[in-house]
């Protein structure tokens, strides 16, 4: 296949039939050959698709994309810094320098007028790489050595490195193919880490002694069940090193006294089918968040020396209308994040007098989260607050006095008035009678006359709740008359655990139907019309986009599918692909006929048909380790073969990046500008 210059006609991928036979059913995949990243023909095809996109879209919208990009970057402070936090006698923060893409990781001794110490300078370290990501870092208990995990390919295979913060010397110790996990022993020389198998599943935990050859590292734990990931971390109290084994529906933990890093790990309580639990140490006991005999999770406790499930005692019961999501522990307090009616709230427990209270938030639709709460011995809770119109704001809340201190509010350069925008939370009735929440933001003056443009976004998988967060880049659409809406479809956990369970496995289609019904509701109540309605989703949300494109192609003017998971059956049958075996509890195991048939009935790639489709922009990354590039590439090739319209269909492959896109803070806005330009371009046609 030759790469054409200035391609004017859509590329046509060659067809090389590959036959799959499962459960007595035969599938023909004409584009399976695209799975080979090392095949020059594959690279040539991806480049030809890029050239086509460049010719028919990027060139005509070059000035628009630049204008959008300049707007987005222009709202970001050139110089910026995170809110400092103090741990173990040092205050830590990251800062950005003017015009630079990557953070500088800094610290100071927690005394007045202490000089800044630069631990890692991302800009200097990244200068020889197209992609650069420091995934995780941790300083040794004696404050002398920083361990950090680095990815320069975008495959999420991290190399573990070490630097002496007193001398500036980088150690020769170099540990490849890790998950990025780091846990220090309290002896300041022992490090625990996890490595990945050929399918990029974290599965082994090793113990390394600083200065010793990596080949001598001792295997501590091997997770042999392919549906589980193995990780390692240090407890907030610094008392334990913890090994985690996690699948979609089950967990198990092993603990080691961090003062004895050469010792033996002990199981907290053995794994049980469909039982999840998380643990946090607090003053002689463990707090346990678990779904054991609890649909929406409950909080339990157990003594330090009696961790078996038979010893657990309930503190907070399971509730029908409240999902217990997270627990933040301090020496005298613990704070529970609970979700009710789709919104998160914080409940504060004082262990000294056994009282509790709720933290109140004002807006009808918002998002809150625990921020940098690394210190155990403190009375300060740090949290973040945002909404679709409220920039991200960091607060310190005094757990003793109830006083709240504003630490930082996200700056929007050029002036931004939240009162110029309106947020709403409405409900659409799904076809089975369920009420699906929709969060909406638009600029004042937006008319509900059925002719305004609207972008509808959703995810709907893994129990991940889509929060109503502020994005300054979104202003470029809102200020051009768009409304932005989030459909909180089933498959997320916005409305509790049952919301998740009704959008997975053999009920996955509820996610698709919820999205379609939300779109129809927005049209019915005059927010928009099919000719001005756009849909967007990424990764598992890209599966959602592929499904609704097949089901209701006439409902949308355009669809943006970012790194979309669209070849469900083939991927879930291939145990060598990253994430496959770990996700049988999410999608089902197609080696079992009932799951195979159900997946086949909705898999976007398998259900492309001869019909008109809306305009579609598909993006992917050549080095994507979560949704392999060939899924969107095959999908686009089949769409080109089958579709009966002349609407724009674009595949844009980033040849340098993976699932997360660009690594620099400004570079990412080129992708967003491209997506926005796609919608504006269609409206102008």
d(CA 46, CA 48): 5
Of these residues, 365, 371, 514, 624, which one is catalytic?
624
Instruction: Report residue 219 as tokens.
Output: 């295997």
624 is known as an active-site residue: yes
Say which residues have a Cβ less than 8 Å from residue 306's Cβ, sequence separation at least 6.
none
DSSP string of 439-472, one letter each residue: EEEEETT---SS-S-EEEE----TT--------G
Of these residues, 82, 250, 387, 539, which one is catalytic?
539
Of these residues, 208, 488, 623, 659, which one is catalytic?
659
C-alpha distance from residue 520 to each of 455, 508, 525 (Å)? 13, 19, 9
d(CA 401, CA 381): 12
C-alpha distance from residue 664 to each of 99, 100, 457, 659 (Å)? 11, 8, 24, 14
C-alpha distance from residue 600 to each of 68, 424, 495 (Å)? 40, 37, 28
* Neighbouring C-beta atoms of residue 520, cutoff 10 Å: 17
Instruction: Report residue 359 as tokens.
Output: 């933290």
Handedness of CA 548, 550, 552, 555 (dihedral sign): positive
CB of 175 within 8 A of CB of 160? yes
CB of 34 within 8 A of CB of 49? no
539 is known as an active-site residue: yes
First to last CA, the chain: 32
CA-wise closest residue to 362 among 423, 411, 321, 403? 423
222 is known as an active-site residue: no
Q: What is the dihedral of CA 285, 287, 290, 293, to 10 degrees?
A: 60
d(CA 595, CA 565): 17
C-alpha distance from residue 181 to each of 119, 627, 683 (Å)? 19, 22, 46
Give the three-class secondary structure for 185.
Answer: coil
d(CA 651, CA 660): 17
Burial letters for 107-126: b for 16+ Cβ neighbours within 10 Å, e otherwise?
bbeeeeeeeeeebbebbebb
Which positions are annotated as active-site residues? 539, 624, 659
């Amino acid at each position: 296949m030759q790469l054409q210059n200035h391609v004017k006609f859509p590329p046509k991928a060659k067809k090389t039939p590959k036959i799959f036979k499962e459960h007595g059913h035969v599938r023909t995949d004409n584009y399976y050959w695209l799975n080979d990243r090392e095949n020059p023909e594959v690279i040539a095809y991806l480049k030809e698709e890029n050239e086509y996109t460049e010719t028919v879209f990027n060139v005509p919208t070059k000035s628009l994309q630049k204008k959008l990009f300049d707007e987005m970057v222009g709202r970001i402070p050139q110089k910026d810094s995170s809110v400092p936090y103090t741990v173990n006698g040092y205050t830590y923060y990251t800062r950005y320098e003017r015009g630079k893409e990557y953070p500088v990781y800094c610290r100071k001794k927690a005394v007045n007028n202490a000089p800044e110490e630069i631990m890692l300078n991302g800009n200097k370290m990244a200068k020889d790489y197209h992609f650069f990501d420091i995934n995780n870092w941790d300083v040794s208990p004696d404050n002398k050595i920083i361990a950090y995990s680095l990815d320069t390919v975008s495959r999420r295979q991290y190399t573990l490195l070490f630097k002496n913060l007193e001398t500036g010397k980088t150690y020769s110790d170099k540990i490849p193919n890790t998950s990025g996990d780091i846990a220090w022993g309290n002896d300041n020389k022992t490090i625990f880490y996890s490595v990945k198998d050929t399918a990029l599943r974290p599965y082994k935990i090793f113990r390394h002694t600083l200065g010793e050859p990596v080949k001598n590292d001792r295997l501590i734990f091997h997770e042999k069940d392919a549906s589980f990931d193995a990780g390692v971390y240090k407890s907030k109290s610094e008392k334990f090193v913890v090994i985690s084994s996690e699948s979609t529906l089950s967990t198990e933990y092993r603990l080691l006294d961090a003062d004895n890093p050469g010792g033996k790990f002990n199981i907290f309580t053995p794994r049980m089918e469909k039982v999840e639990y998380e643990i946090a140490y607090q003053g002689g006991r463990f707090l346990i968040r678990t779904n054991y005999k609890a649909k929406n999770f409950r909080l339990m406790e157990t003594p330090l020396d009696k961790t078996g499930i038979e010893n657990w005692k309930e503190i907070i019961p399971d509730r029908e209308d409240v999902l217990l999501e997270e627990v933040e522990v301090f020496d005298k307090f613990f704070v529970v994040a609970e979700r009710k009616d789709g919104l998160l709230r914080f409940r504060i427990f004082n262990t000294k007098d056994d009282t509790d209270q709720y933290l109140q938030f004002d807006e009808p639709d918002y998002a809150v989260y625990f921020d940098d709460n690394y210190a155990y011995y403190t009375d300060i809770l740090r949290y973040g607050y945002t909404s679709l119109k409220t920039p991200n704001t960091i607060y310190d809340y005094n757990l003793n006095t109830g006083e709240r201190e504003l630490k930082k509010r996200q700056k929007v350069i050029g002036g931004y008035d939240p009162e110029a925008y309106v947020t709403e939370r409405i409900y659409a009735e799904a076809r089975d009678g369920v009420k699906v929440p929709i969060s909406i933001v638009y600029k004042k003056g937006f008319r509900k006359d059925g002719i305004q443009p609207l972008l509808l976004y959703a995810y709907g998988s893994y129990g991940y709740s889509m929060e109503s967060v502020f994005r300054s880049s979104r202003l470029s659409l809102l200020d051009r008359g768009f409304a932005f809406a989030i459909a909180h479809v089933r498959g997320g956990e916005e409305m509790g655990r049952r919301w998740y369970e009704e959008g997975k496995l053999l009920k996955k289609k509820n996610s698709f139907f919820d999205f379609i019904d939300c779109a129809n509701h927005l049209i019915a109540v005059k927010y928009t019309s099919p000719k001005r309605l756009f849909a967007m989703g990424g990764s598992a949300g890209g599966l959602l986009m592929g499904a609704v494109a097949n089901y209701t192609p006439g409902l949308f003017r355009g669809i943006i599918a970012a790194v979309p998971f669209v070849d469900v059956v083939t991927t879930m049958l291939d145990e060598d692909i990253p994430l496959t075996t770990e996700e049988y509890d999410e999608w089902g195991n197609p080696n079992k006929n009932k799951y195979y048939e159900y997946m086949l009935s909705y898999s976007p790639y398998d259900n492309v048909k001869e019909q008109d489709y809306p305009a579609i922009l598909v993006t992917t990354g050549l080095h994507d380790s979560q949704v392999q590039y060939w899924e969107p590439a095959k999908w686009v090739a089949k769409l080109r073969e089958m579709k009966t319209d002349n609407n724009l269909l674009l595949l844009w492959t980033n040849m340098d990046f993976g699932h997360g896109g660009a690594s620099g803070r400004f570079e990412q806005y080129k992708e967003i500008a491209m997506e926005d330009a796609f919608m504006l371009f269609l409206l102008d046609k």
